[in-house]
Amino acid sequence: MEDGESSTNNLSRPWESYNTVFTNAKAGMEGVDKEKVQRIVYEMSKGSKYFQNEERKEALMKQKIEHMRDRCAKLSSSDLSNYQKVVDRRILELEATRDLSRIWLHVDMDAFYAAVETLSNPSLKDKPMAVGGLSMISTANYEARKFGVRAAMPGFIARKLCPDLIFVPVDFTKYTHYSDLTRKVFKNYDPHFIAGSLDEAYLDITEVCRERGLSGGEIAEELRSSVYSETGLTCSAGVAANRLLAKVCSDINKPNGQYVLQNDRATVLTFISSLPIRKIGGIGKVTEHILKDALGIKTCEEMVLKGSLLYALFTQSSADFFLSVGLGLGKTDTPQVRSRKSISSERTFAATEDERLLYSKLAEIAEMLSLDMKKEGITARTLTLKLKTASFEIRSRAVSLQRYTCSSEDILKHATKMLKAELPVSIRLIGLRMSQFNEEIRHSDPSQETITKFIVQKDSSRQNLDDSDSIDLDASKIDGESLNLSFGSHETSYAQQKDVVEYEEESRIDADKVIPNQECENKEEKPRVLEGDALLIKHTDCKPDTSHSMNDNSNTQNTKAVSVFPQMEPLFWIDGYRCNLCGIELPPSFVEERQEHSDFHLAQRLQNEESGSSSSTRPAPKRRILGKEKANSKPKKQKPDQKEGSKHIPIHTFFTRSNQNS
């Protein structure tokens, strides 16, 4: 954003006020002619829908800043002195948590994807190269960065900045392989290291330093050289008392360098005092502008100096975060394993209003998402539809389902309903996300606690199995489509989808009157889950459908039907590698994966049954769908699985206190 003196410049040099993410300094871009880059980016973007949307967002941000300035101006001196008391108290409390006993190391691979690509094709060395395509690039090597090309920049702009830029397509298999190699090295220094992403990690090297009598810097040197000899790739490192500082440090001598910040309070405070706020992980473009333009905070030190303003204008958690940053505090513990909270899939395409096309895209994405969920053995009950309109406006619509599911049919059915409500509109992106996972299934990770145990421990009051609502048990259907998992073959026809919507709408009122657990009642005749040992019987004699039992002898041992549920549709591997229940493909050699997969189907049935019965006592509300209609006898809902996740929160977004002084 402008610095205040640029209102006149805006007329002659309009690009100066066009803020992109690319204006932020990045390693390897020190000598770049920033004005030239900014001008080119502006010229390339000007007038586009994207640009217009950026302007809209910019205007909103300015409004926010103005609003905050107003509130700031209205604060009386007694208000401020009261807030200052709060700050003083919080400083004492935060100081009490300062832990200088740990040594954290943050490793960050240098231009990781680009470096890997150069390893496999050395002719790319010394040439400007970007990994990605014309719509977006993932990373650029240091040669390309000299031209202002960088990650998250559209390829067509990058090419304008650097006409000789070589584009290399993304290849995650390769990056994962190299990432695994680096992680083997990391493990030698901290078996519980935290992998931030494929190319970065946090290591608590306190113990290894103590055991070997080496300093953090010496360990960092050794680790980096070890990573290089194992992979041929360079990395940079930062060593400090906590993770927040270590991350900042790893960026200082990038590439192929390191920086050590001594573990003493005075050194930390000196280091942090002049540090620009944008260097802190969690402070992005928006927060930076709000803090700078509304409150005049540019450095971390100023967060402490202007603490009373922060506590007056921001929520407690945001203000706490700012203050702790200003004090150079950060996390020093090794967190528990963090599990994912949602899973999603989204695709961008040429903007269209064509309903038929949109429904078909939606079906593709539902299929992709369902497949990913099945691969991970996840079921969930909240579905969110994300749309990006042709004008880049983002919309999201969510619905919580009555039961946990991962089936593409379920996902598509509800997603279609939500999409229909938005039409007509020109759309360029559709995304689907599932959240609110069924924790019971996740916690029954076979490697930790077998599914068998999970089942045996279950309450014996269990009623019955689910129907095929969540998982398509109709193997013939899969066969009929030759198990081609490409989306075309699974595509739900436009007419079918419309039928779903219309049927749903017709039945809506009635459905709402129905007692919540009607589905479960309909399943009384379904076979009961057997308890204990009965569950362990593996039915190798269950004959798979003849149409699937291919006469390929080499596969027969892998196509044995294995059903842990007598009387239920058995699970077997068509052609030796395709699951007859969901169509997922797992080669015969994937013994463990196949076992886990069978366990997953088993657990899912249990879970469906479980959620079916629990929904009779606590059905999910259907607010949006119900509208104002009064849902009959809706018992109080409770969400036992929602609390845990909100405890350890590394990333902060900052919103102002709600309407407090406005």
Catalytic residues: 200
Buried b vs exposed e over 278-296: b needs ≥16 C-beta within 10 Å?
bbbbbbeeebbbbbbbbbe
Which of 279/306 has CB closer to DNA? 279
**CA-to-CA separations, 515 to 30, 145, 238, 467, 503, in angstroms, rounded:** 66, 62, 59, 18, 19
Smallest gap from residue 583 Cβ to DNA (A): 19
**CA-to-CA separations, 555 to 79, 157, 441, 587, in angstroms, rounded:** 77, 52, 30, 10
Smallest gap from residue 153 Cβ to DNA (A): 7
Which of 531/629 has CB closer to DNA? 629
DSSP 645: G
**CA-to-CA separations, 251 to 191, 302, 414, 526, 649, in angstroms, rounded:** 24, 22, 45, 60, 23
Which of 227/283 has CB closer to DNA? 283
- The number of beta carbons lying within 10 Å of the beta carbon of residue 77 is 7
Smallest gap from residue 344 Cβ to DNA (A): 4
Which of 223/343 has CB closer to DNA? 343
Hey, is 589 helix, strand or coil?
coil
Smallest gap from residue 28 Cβ to DNA (A): 15
Which of 231/559 has CB closer to DNA? 231
- The number of beta carbons lying within 10 Å of the beta carbon of residue 262 is 16
Which of 184/623 has CB closer to DNA? 623
Smallest gap from residue 648 Cβ to DNA (A): 7
Rounded to whole angstroms, how far apart are CA atoms 647 and 644?
6
Helix runs in 97-189, H state only: 112-120, 142-145, 155-161, 172-189
Q: Which of 463, 475, 465, 449 is nearest to 596 (CA)?
A: 449
Hey, is 205 helix, strand or coil?
coil
Which of 341/477 has CB closer to DNA? 341
Buried b vs exposed e over 458-488: b needs ≥16 C-beta within 10 Å?
beeebbbbbbebbbbbebeebbeeebebebe
Smallest gap from residue 636 Cβ to DNA (A): 5
Q: Yes or no: say if 131 and 137 are a contact pair by the CB < 8 Å rule.
A: yes
The single residue listed with the structure tokens 């749903």 is: 504
Smallest gap from residue 656 Cβ to DNA (A): 6
Q: Which of 205, 207, 230 is nearest to 217 (CA)?
A: 205
